[in-house]
Structure 1
Amino acid sequence: MKNTVKNLVVLTIVTLFTLSFTAIDKNKKEIKTDKSKVVWKGYKVTGSHEGTIAIKSGFLNFEGDKLTGGEFVIDMTSINTTDMQGEYKGKLDGHLKSGDFFDVAAYPTAKLVFVKVKSTGKNTYEVTGDLTIKGKTNPVTFTISVYGSKATASLKIDRTKFGIEYKSTSFFENLKDKAIYDEFDLVTDLEF
C-alpha cells in the first residue's frame, strides 16, 4: 500500500513536470473585420461582375504557429458591386440580394466553419469546411496561406448547391447569352 501511494505521487509529479514543458500554445486570433476584405466575382456568358462583401465576424485558431481551425460569419446584406455605377449597379445589387440569388431578407448572414486543416507547405494549408448559404450547408475545400498576421484564400463556390438556380444552364435550357455560370469566386485578404 505504501509503495502504491509512493508510485502514484511520483507518477503525478512526473506527469505535471512533463506537461509543463510540452504544453502547446493554443491561440484564437480574431479577424480585424475593418482591415480584411472579401472580393466576389460572378461569371456569365457575356462577361462577369465583381464586388465586395463584408466579414461580420471571424477567427482563426492556431497551435503555436500552425493553423488548426477557423470560423467566419459573412454579412450578406453588404453585397456591393464594384464594376458598375449608378442605376445598373443599384439594380444588380438589389437583384443579388433578392430571392433569385441570396435572399438576404431571410438569410442576412452566411457562415464558414473549418472542419479539417492540413498543412501542405511552410505557410500553406488545405482546408475543408462547412459553408452555409441560404440555410443550406455544403462542404468546400480551398487553400489558405498564412504569413505573420495576414492570410489569403481563394474559394470557388457552386451556387446551385445552395439553391441559387437563377439562369443556371444546369436547370434551364435555351438561355443562350443570358446564362449565368454556376460557379463564382471569393478571394479573401484577412488580417488578425
Structure 2
Amino acid sequence: MRIIGGSLKGLRLNPPKNLPVRPTTDLAKEALFNILQNQIEFEGIRVLDLFSGTGNISMEFASRGAEQVVSVDRSIHCVHYLKDTARQHGLTQIKVFKDDIFKYLQLETDQFDLIFADPPYDLNRIPEIPGIIFDKNLLLPGGLLIVEHQSMQNLSKHPTFVEQRQYGYSAFSFFKAPDVTDQQ
C-alpha cells in the first residue's frame, strides 16, 4: 500500500497485520484518483472519509492538498494507526474520530466537497449510505459521494447516482449533489 500522488507520493504504508480492514487496492485507488483528478481540484477541498480503516484514502487526499480530511472508523486500532501515521508525516489536516459511522452521520452537520465511504463488503446497510448523506445535506453543491462496494452490488437506484466503475471484485459508485447552477 502506497501514496500514489502529491507531496507524499511513493510513501509506503505498512499498517499492522491485525487491523480489521480490507484496504482499497493500489490499482483501484490509482484508477479512482485518475478519475477524480479530471473532475475536481484537490487543493483546498474538505473530505469526509467514512470507514477510514488504515487511512490510505485519507492520506492520499491530504498528500494532494486537501484542506481538511475528517476520518471516521469504529476500530480504535485503526484510529490510533491513522493518528500516529498522520502525525509522523505532518498531515495536520487529518482529523480522526472513533465512532460508529451511522451514529456519526446522524450527528454530523458540516458539509464536504467529497465524501468517500469504504464499508465492509458484507455490511447490509451499504445501500442506506447515499440516502443518509443526501437527507442530511452533508455535501456542498456539486459535491461528490463515492461508495466502494462489491462489484455485484447495484446502488444506481438513488436519484443522485451518476455512474459505477468496476475494478475486479470492487466497484466505486459515484453520486453528485446538485450544483447551484443545476437548480436554476
Q: TM-score, normalised by structure 2?
A: 0.26
**Which structure dedicates a bigger proportion of its chain to helix?**
2
**Which structure dedicates a bigger proportion of its chain to strand?**
1
| Greater Rg over alpha carbons, structure | 1
Indicate the structure whose relative CO is greater, using CA pairs within 8 Å and at least 6 residues apart. Answer: 1
